[in-house]
Amino acid sequence: MKKDGAYDRVIKMMEAVINDRTVPRNIRNAVEEAKKEVQKEGIEEEVKLATAVQILDEITNDPNMPLYTRTQIWNIVTQLEELRRIATKK
């Protein structure tokens, strides 16, 4: 998996959730926060990816989250975990 392309895909997936007005605001805000973590400069890759995963994990049990959004979030988390796995191999 090419890292730059993988980051771009994850960011686009996050933006899809952030821009979906049918998703409750608190969930969009959490995804926005996770996106900012992933884009931070000057922090170890592993740390920023773990922080983003933690933020997203916290919202997956929100009862107000639409099912399709939960699936999107799980897909994002899966991609972030894969990037984190690659980062730890370095």
Q: Which domain holds residue 27?
A: 3-89
Integer Cα distance of 90 and 88 in angstroms = 5
Statement: residue 4 has pLDDT above 50: yes
Segment 6-29 mean pLDDT: 96
- Three-class SS of residue 34? helix
Statement: residue 2 has pLDDT above 70: no
Could you report the per-residue pLDDT of 46-68, keeping only the tens digit for each? 999 999 999 999 999 999 999 99
Read off the tokens for 19.
């821009």
Could you report the per-residue pLDDT of 75-90, keeping only the tens digit for each? 999 999 999 998 888 6
**Residue 9 maps to which CATH number?**
1.20.1440.50
The count of structural domains within the chain is 1
**What proportion of the chain, given as a percentage, has pLDDT over 70?**
96
Integer Cα distance of 19 and 43 in angstroms = 27
What b-and-e string marks burial along 37-50, b requiring 16 or more CB atoms within 10 Å of the CB?
A: bbeeeeeebeebbb
Integer Cα distance of 7 and 67 in angstroms = 24
Integer Cα distance of 69 and 51 in angstroms = 20
